[in-house]
Structures are given as structure tokens and as C-alpha cells.
């Protein structure tokens, strides 16, 4: 060719590029041998430049067969090549600028088009590792020695600073997200704003930061500047968040409308059914607890109560199966008694009504899907619901039965059957009721967790209690190896757990309970934001946050589950507390839930009432007792009633209250 350029030297080896037939090719020249140049070629294109050499390895960059891409390469003089394409960090171009032993450094472009310092280990065959920045968008590595890489990086303010990276020390960030809603109370048609604030406590910048927020049913997406959305999921790509930096985004949503003109406060019923087994020694027996007609089994348990004294322990009573019946309307337990005495066992199930049951003018179906199953499972396995929440987690061993650990995992259920082989199953329950009269309602769920320490040789009975207005439907327990689960006792709002430790060391159990709100119509919308990044974040406990907003059809929230009787002279009134989203005229009634003994009052009769104009915010409100309601209120003959808030359009908000 006509021209050549030397770029680097190591020992007797000089490297660079030369022009032949109008094309740049990388070369190497051995001074000890007196040449000639060795043409290192290209990566398939027409251009190649060698930048540096060390220990017989030449590095640089070259065109690939795709003419618009130039990639970093490494060439082994000892083997005579060919070039090794080191790739990129997701973008189209890269360049190798330094080499030492098996380590190659340089810069490469990411998918968003940002140049980042990289290191590539020839010994492991890559891939490239992004070394990050000092908070800016650009960095480049120019030399490597031992575990130190040197180069430069832009800072948050855009300045270039000399930079040293120490390999083997993973850059880490500490991201956190906090979420707030601009109003504690909403009504259909209102626009609400959620503010998501992402912070990075460092010590390094966090790259490729994304915050995701899935709007719950009951809200429809309105806007989120700088973010994208697909269905109910809003995704905001925040790029790089520097150490000590923060970024905020705002997501706006509309509270969904509900068809007016009918009562929209419905109730679900949850009940328990159990069946008893007395199992002789050495025998295997099965029992089934069957739900009331039409009800569905949403959970079940085999409760191991006792074995005859001095004939063994509860560890000798083996649960072979605990699962919903094939029709979903009951629970079957199969148990083997390996002790030398009788074993007392109960099979219980939690049953959920198939429709709302509160006697309103219409009902809504509870939507329970078919079974999601897995067969011949060993070790750990998770069954996942495509939509909805998992219920009725069950198992049946084919062989090698052992105590089973379970846990709710997002929209699925995790099982650990150890060395056994088992068939697993769950059902998936929609969080939205069936449509009636052109509308439907969302179910409200919440989840409780606890941890129990079980002393060696001991038994513990911890409990979880659902909030007021909720009942427990599905429980789980994740066990230390050796711990024996003795089942659960599903009381109406409290779930009792029992664990037995037959070993000589203390063991632990994590346990949880899913609770279902029994009323619809007036509830709470809760949604969760999550922040993630490409940079490692050792502490994920602060990477999610939730915001809640109470929603009522009227825009009036009955804030207390209790009302108080106030008697002054001959006047009797009832005091309650309300909150309103705006100024509005409402009528408020306290009505009987059923017949009152010794009176002519029955379900729906008004005990107290008032009409008042509420302003925005929280207010105490007094209702005047009616002529019929005065004596029963004064004599404390009624302890629970329904508080009803009615707008001039006839839209209602209701809540069952206790009377003090």
C-alpha cells in the first residue's frame, strides 16, 4: 500500500494499520525478526486498526460484515488469528484500547447510544462488562494492570474526570422509590395523581433505571409524561440516576365509573367445614370435607391433632395428600399413621360463596378458573396464575412423602416437596366479580405474614388475624428442614398455625395468610411502584412502595366503623364521622339490619337520619333519631346497623357499623 501508521508497541511487537487497495488493515511487526508486517485482516469489513499489544495479544477495532458497525477485536499472534469479535454493550460500535494478559479494555456503545467503558476477559470468552460512569452518560477505559482499569468518565455535571475502576468489586447502587397520591379519597370520574420519587443513596450511579407501576382495576390510565403504558402497566425509563441523585415522575389516572341507580355494596360469605379421622396404627385413610352446595373450596388443611401417648409422635403421621376435590367443592386429605397407636386428624376446608350473598337487588358471580397443575414434581416448583390470585394450593405425593413447604409467590404459589415426587395444583380467582346490570366490582385482598421460632422438641401455635371486614381464605407456611407442619385451623378472621419440631435444634417457620374483603362497592385502591436498574442493588427492601386511596360511589367516605349514641334531655342523636371529596348535599340514614326483638322494626327501617351539606375534608356529623328509633337507641337494643349516605342522584355509600 501507500501509507502505514504505528499505534502501539510491546516488547519487539509494533502494531498499527496500513492502507492496501484503499482499505485500512491492522498489522503487527516483529522487530526481533526484522519483519515483514503481518496483515491481521478485518472482522469481515474493509477497515481495521490495531491499537495496542501485550504478551502476543493485539487489540483494536475493525469493520464487521455489517458495514455500519465497527467492533473491538483481539488477535492472538501465537495462533495466527483470526480476529476475535468482542461485540458491544448492546449498541453498534466498540473499540479496544488496552490489553494485559487476558483482559481487554476500551469503550462500547449501549443500546441507547451511550459510550461506556468495558472490560472483556479472553480467558472466559466474555461477554463485555459495563464498568459504569461517575454519574454522567459516558466513560472509556484506556489501560489495565492487574485488577485496576484506568480511563475517564463524565460526571453528573458533564465534566470529564480521570477514573480508576477496581475489578472484582461490583459497583452497587441503593435505589429506593416512594409513592404518594394527591388525595386520600376519590370518587368515579375524578383524576388522581401519583408521584413516584426515585432516589439513589449510592455509592455508585445506577444505570438503566426503570420504574414500573401497575394501576389496579378501578383506575384507567390518563397520562404520564416521559413514560409509556401498555394496558394498566406504566413504565418509565429514567436512564442513569447518579449517587445522591433523584428523579420524580407523575402518573395520572381516572377513577372508573360505576353504574348508578342500584345498591353496590355486596357481601361475600366465607365458611369452614371439617371432617374427622381416627386412624389405626399402620393404616392409611382418606377424608373429604365438602362445602355447602355451590360453594368453592379456596383452601384446606390436614390438621394433625394427636397420637396415643407413648406410641410415637406427630412426626409419625404422614400427610400423603391435601388438595381440592376434582369438582372444586371440597377438600381431600390422605394420611398414613406410622405410629403404634391411634392418630386423630381433621381435614378442613375454607369455602367461598359462589356469588355475593348480602340480599341486595342483584348479585355478582365470583369468578374461579380451572386448576393449574404440575405432575411428577420433585424439589421446588411454582405454579402461576395467568390472571387473578392463586387459591386452593394442593399436593398429592406419588412417592417419598415429606413435610411440604409452600408460599405465595407473586401471582403464583411455590411448593417445596423435597426428595418426594408429587402432583401439585392451584386455582386462579379473578379479583373482579362477574358483570350484572352493566357493571361489576373488584375484590379487595390483603396479605399478612409472620415468623415463628420452634424450640427443639416443642410445638408452637402462632396466629394471624385479618383486618376488620376481611376473612382469611388461603394460608401458607415455609419451613426449615426437619420442621413438621401440623396444619391450620381456619377460624372466621383468624388463622391458627401449628408447628412441631422433633429435632434437637431450634427451627423456624415463615407463614402467611391471604385475607379477602367481604364487601364491595366502597373500598380501597392500592397500587405498587417498583424500581429496577442494570447496576446491582444489594438492598431491594426499599425498591417498592404503595399508595392507597379510598373510593366510594358518592365521594363520601364513612371513616369510622362505629357510631355513638348521644342523649341530651328528650333528644337522641347518633354521631358519626364522614369525609367528602368536595362540597355536596347528602342524606344520611342509620337503618336496621334485621328485626329488633320486642319492636315492630325490621330490616331497612330508619333509626336516625339527617340531611346536610358536606364540605371538602373530614367532618363529625349528627343524625337525629326517628320517632321509632329513639326508644331502641336509648335502651341500647341495637348494637349493629347500616349507615347509608345518599346523594340527590340516588347514589349510595353504605357501611355496617357498631353502635356505642
Q: pLDDT tens digit string along 139-186?
A: 999 999 998 999 999 887 788 999 998 887 666 789 999 999 998 888
Residue 481 CB: number of other CB atoms within 10 A?
A: 11
* Percent of the chain residues topping a pLDDT of 90: 58
Q: Which of 551, 570, 605 is the last residue of a domain?
A: 551
User: How buried is 181 (Cβ within 10 angstroms: 0-12 exposed, 13-18 middle, 19+ buried)?
Assistant: buried
Residues 6+ apart with CB under 8 A from 233: 212, 213, 214, 215
> Looking at residue 572, which CATH number applies to its domain?
2.60.40
Residue with cell 360511589: 553
Domain count, the chain: 4
Residues 6+ apart with CB under 8 A from 90: 109, 110, 111
Check whether 361 has a pLDDT greater than 90.
no
Check whether 260 has a pLDDT greater than 70.
no
Q: Which three cell numbers stand for residue 490?
A: 381456619
Residues 6+ apart with CB under 8 A from 616: 580, 581, 582, 583
* Residues 537, 534: Cα–Cα separation, whole Å: 9
Distances (CA, A) of 71 to 36, 91, 96, 290, 391: 26, 10, 8, 67, 52
Q: 149 - beta bridge partners?
A: 144, 165
Both 622 and 510 in one domain: the answer is: no
- What region, left, alpha or beta, does residue 55 occupy, with left being phi > 0 and alpha being psi -120 to 50 degrees? left
**Residue numbers of the domain that contains 77:** 4-166
Q: pLDDT tens digit string along 311-353?
A: 999 999 999 999 999 999 999 999 999 999 999 999 999 999 9
Q: Which range is least confidently modeled, 262-266, 281-285, 591-595, 652-656?
A: 262-266
**Per-position b or e across 244-270, b if 16+ CB within 10 A of its CB:** ebebebebbbbbeebeeebbbbbbbbb
Q: pLDDT tens digit string along 547-573?
A: 888 777 778 888 888 899 999 888 999
Check whether 528 has a pLDDT greater than 70.
yes
pTM for the structure as a whole: 0.47
Both 617 and 471 in one domain: the answer is: no
Q: pLDDT tens digit string along 420-432?
A: 999 999 999 988 7
Both 383 and 345 in one domain: the answer is: yes
* Residues 211, 198: Cα–Cα separation, whole Å: 8
Both 343 and 233 in one domain: the answer is: no
Residue from 462, 441, 447, 318 nearest 391 by CA: 447
Both 156 and 194 in one domain: the answer is: no
Q: Which three cell numbers stand for residue 50?
A: 490495531
Question: In whole angstroms, what separates CA 286 from the centre of its chain?
Answer: 36
> Looking at residue 546, which CATH number applies to its domain?
2.60.40.1530
Q: 279 - beta bridge partners?
A: 343
* Residues 72, 52: Cα–Cα separation, whole Å: 12
Furthest C-alpha separation in the chain: 120
Both 193 and 48 in one domain: the answer is: no
Both 19 and 59 in one domain: the answer is: yes
Q: Which of 111, 135, 166 is the last residue of a domain?
A: 166
Both 627 and 478 in one domain: the answer is: no
> Looking at residue 32, which CATH number applies to its domain?
2.140.10.30
Q: Please give the mean pLDDT across all residues of the chain.
A: 88
Residue from 385, 446, 386, 439 nearest 413 by CA: 385
> Looking at residue 483, which CATH number applies to its domain?
2.60.120.690
Both 353 and 488 in one domain: the answer is: yes
Both 74 and 154 in one domain: the answer is: yes
The pLDDT, as a whole number, for residue 190 is: 87
Both 78 and 95 in one domain: the answer is: yes
Q: pLDDT tens digit string along 433-446?
A: 877 655 567 677 77
Taking residues 621-644, report their average pLDDT.
90
* Residues 565, 182: Cα–Cα separation, whole Å: 34
Q: Is the Cβ–Cβ distance between 74 and 86 less than 8 Å? A: yes
Question: In whole angstroms, what separates CA 595 from the centre of its chain?
Answer: 45
Both 341 and 487 in one domain: the answer is: yes
Amino acid at each position: 500500500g501507500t501509507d502505514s501508521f504505528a499505534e502501539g508497541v510491546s516488547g519487539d511487537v509494533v502494531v498499527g494499520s496500513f492502507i492496501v487497495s484503499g482499505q485500512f488493515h491492522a498489522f503487527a511487526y516483529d522487530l526481533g525478526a526484522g519483519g515483514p508486517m503481518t496483515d491481521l485482516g478485518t472482522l469481515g469489513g474493509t477497515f481495521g486498526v490495531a491499537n495496542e499489544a501485550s504478551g502476543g495479544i493485539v487489540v483494536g477495532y475493525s469493520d464487521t460484515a455489517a458495514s455500519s458497525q465497527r467492533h473491538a477485536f483481539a488477535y492472538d499472534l501465537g495462533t495466527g488469528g483470526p480476529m476475535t469479535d468482542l461485540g458491544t454493550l448492546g449498541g453498534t460500535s466498540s473499540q479496544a484500547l488496552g490489553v494485559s494478559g487476558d483482559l481487554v479494555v476500551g469503550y462500547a456503545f449501549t443500546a441507547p447510544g451511550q459510550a461506556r467503558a468495558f472490560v472483556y476477559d479472553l480467558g472466559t470468552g466474555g461477554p463485555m462488562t459495563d464498568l459504569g460512569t461517575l454519574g454522567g452518560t459516558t466513560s472509556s477505559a484506556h489501560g489495565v494492570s492487574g485488577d485496576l482499569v484506568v480511563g475517564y468518565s463524565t460526571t453528573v455535571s458533564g465534566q470529564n474526570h480521570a477514573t480508576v475502576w477496581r475489578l472484582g468489586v461490583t459497583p452497587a447502587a441503593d435505589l429506593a422509590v416512594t409513592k404518594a397520591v394527591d388525595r386520600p379519597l376519590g370518587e368515579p370520574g375524578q383524576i388522581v395523581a401519583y408521584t413516584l420519587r426515585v432516589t439513589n443513596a449510592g455509592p455508585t450511579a445506577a444505570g438503566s433505571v426503570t420504574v414500573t407501576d401497575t394501576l389496579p382495576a378501578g383506575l384507567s390510565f390518563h397520562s404520564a409524561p416521559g413514560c409509556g403504558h401498555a394496558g394498566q402497566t406504566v413504565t418509565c425509563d429514567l436512564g442513569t440516576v447518579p449517587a445522591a441523585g433523584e428523579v420524580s415522575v407523575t402518573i395520572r389516572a381516572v377513577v372508573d365509573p360505576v353504574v348508578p341507580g342500584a345498591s353496590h355494596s355486596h357481601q361475600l360469605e366465607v365458611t369452614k367445614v371439617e371432617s374427622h379421622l381416627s386412624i389405626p396404627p399402620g393404616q392409611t385413610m382418606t377424608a373429604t370435607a365438602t362445602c355447602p352446595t355451590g360453594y368453592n373450596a379456596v383452601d384446606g388443611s390436614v390438621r394433625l391433632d394427636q397420637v396415643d401417648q407413648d406410641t410415637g409422635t406427630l412426626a409419625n403421621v404422614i400427610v400423603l395428600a391435601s388438595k381440592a376435590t376434582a369438582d372444586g367443592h371440597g377438600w381431600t386429605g390422605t394420611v398414613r399413621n406410622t405410629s403404634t397407636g391411634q392418630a386423630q386428624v381433621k381435614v378442613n376446608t375454607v369455602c367461598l360463596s359462589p356469588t355475593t350473598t348480602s340480599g341486595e337487588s342483584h348479585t355478582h358471580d365470583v369468578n374461579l378458573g380451572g386448576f393449574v397443575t404440575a405432575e411428577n414434581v420433585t424439589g421446588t416448583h411454582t405454579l402461576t396464575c395467568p390472571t387473578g390470585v392463586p387459591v386452593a394450593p394442593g399436593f398429592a405425593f406419588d412417592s417419598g412423602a415429606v413435610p411440604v413447604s409452600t408460599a405465595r409467590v407473586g401471582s403464583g404459589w411455590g411448593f417445596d416437596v423435597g426428595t418426594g415426587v408429587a402432583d401439585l395444583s392451584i386455582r386462579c380467582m379473578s379479583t373482579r366479580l362477574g358483570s350484572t346490570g352493566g357493571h361489576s366490582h373488584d375484590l379487595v385482598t390483603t396479605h399478612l405474614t409472620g415468623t415463628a421460632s420452634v424450640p427443639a422438641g416443642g410445638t408452637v401455635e402462632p396466629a394471624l388475624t385479618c383486618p376488620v371486614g376481611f376473612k382469611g381464605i388461603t394460608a401458607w407456611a415455609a419451613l426449615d428442614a426437619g420442621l413438621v407442619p401440623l396444619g391450620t385451623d381456619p377460624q372466621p378472621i383468624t388463622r391458627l398455625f401449628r408447628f412441631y419440631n422433633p429435632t434437637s435444634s431450634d427451627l423456624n417457620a415463615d407463614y402467611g395468610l391471604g385475607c379477602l374483603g367481604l364487601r364491595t362497592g366502597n373500598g380501597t385502591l392500592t397500587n405498587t411502584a417498583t424500581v429496577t436498574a442494570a447496576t446491582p442493588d444489594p438492598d431491594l427492601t426499599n425498591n417498592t412502595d404503595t399508595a392507597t386511596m379510598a373510593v366510594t360511589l358518592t365521594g363520601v367516605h364513612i371513616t369510622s366503623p362505629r357510631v355513638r349514641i348521644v342523649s341530651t334531655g328528650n333528644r337522641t342523636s347518633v354521631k358519626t364521622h364522614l369525609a367528602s371529596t368536595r362540597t355536596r348535599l347528602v342524606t344520611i340514614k342509620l337503618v336496621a339490619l334485621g328485626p329488633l326483638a320486642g319492636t315492630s322494626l325490621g330490616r331497612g327501617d330508619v333509626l336516625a337520619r339527617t340531611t346536610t351539606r358536606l364540605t371538602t375534608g373530614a367532618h363529625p356529623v349528627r343524625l337525629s333519631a326517628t320517632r321509632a328509633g329513639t326508644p331502641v337507641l336509648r335502651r341500647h337494643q341495637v348494637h349493629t346497623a347500616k349507615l347509608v349516605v345518599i346523594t340527590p342522584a340516588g347514589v349510595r355509600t353504605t357501611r355496617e357499623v357498631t353502635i356505642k
